[in-house]
Amino acid sequence: MNVEKTYSVAGFSFRIQADEALMERMTNLRPFEAAAAGEEIFCLQQVESLPEAVEAPIFKTDDGPGFPEITLWDTPEGYLFQMSPLPGAPVAVRLLSEKDFASARLFLLGTDDTFGLNNALMLLFAFSTARRGALEMHSSVVMNQGKGYLFLGRSGTGKSTHSRLWLENIPGTELLNDDNPILRLMPTGEARVFGSPWSGKTPCYKAKDVPVGAVVRIQQAPANSIQRLSPLQAYASLMASASAFRPFRELAEGWHRTLEGLASRVPCFTLSCLPDAAAAQLCHSTVHGS
């Protein structure tokens, strides 16, 4: 039996109509449950079937081993997505969305239902907020003295390690999210970072938000050094870690406006570092109050 629940993430609301037993397992969503809060951006309904696409897809991800595989078709009924947890793995979910992303249907094939629902929600959230000033960031983020500090970088470069070093060495630090926070340029022009229900392998699901203090791209190096980026360099750094789905050109302008606004307002840095306490102390002393 399907139940309906409403959630609020980064000041936006969405509704889910899905199997009651599945929703009970979605513990990551519970901190965000709300009767109604913020602008509703989409409604997702679980259904018992969706047809397979018969035509050639218009896009397929190629992120390599260890990453989910997403295939996309443009159909008369809307955009059809098919997702697997890993390349070549059995399909876990089909998602058919209206082309404005305000409504979508979800068919779970039973191989990994929590993966299927979470990834459907992440896709819909990214697309629905593209023109509303929000970005899902591949980032680890900590809070310290009332501000949020986002650590960017390719998988394996040490984002989570650097957050841990702040937690261990910078008093008053708290982890906000370890994989997919929401970075939002507010209508007032303020940049804020929000916790989300999606945090990778670290179960950190906090319905909290703070102003952005700085964004730091992490790269491994034999010695610790930090450099502030120009607005153009900041734009490129932010774009490289934003979950902007390239095939949707109609959403690209919205993502561009958000990235441009953030790059001109938020202090951005590159930290070349070792995985040690000195790197966290150098980063904190540089970005605090920047």
Whether 216 shows a pLDDT value over 80: the answer reads yes
pLDDT at 53: 87
Helix (H/G/I), strand (E/B), else coil: 225: strand
Whether 246 shows a pLDDT value over 80: the answer reads no
Is the pTM value of this prediction over 0.85?
A: yes
Calculate the average pLDDT of the chain: 94
Instruction: Tell me what percent of the residues of the chain surpass a pLDDT of 90.
Output: 83
pLDDT tens-place string over residues 47-90: 999 998 888 999 998 877 778 999 999 999 999 999 999 988 99
Instruction: Tell me what percent of the residues of the chain surpass a pLDDT of 70.
Output: 98
The token duo for 22 is 């599945």
pLDDT tens-place string over residues 24-58: 999 999 999 986 667 899 999 999 999 988 889 99
81: Cβ–Cβ under 8 A, 6 or more apart, which residues? 70, 71, 72, 93, 94, 95, 96, 97, 120, 123
Helix (H/G/I), strand (E/B), else coil: 46: strand
- Residue 163 CA to residue 80 CA, distance in Å, equals 37
281: Cβ–Cβ under 8 A, 6 or more apart, which residues? 169, 170
pLDDT at 36: 60
pLDDT at 250: 79
pLDDT at 35: 63
- Residue 274 CA to residue 40 CA, distance in Å, equals 43
- Residue 6 CA to residue 9 CA, distance in Å, equals 10
Contact between 163 and 234 under an 8 Å Cβ cutoff? The reply is no
Residues facing residue 123 across a β-bridge: none
Residue 219, H or E segment: strand 209-220
Q: How many residues belong to the chain?
A: 290
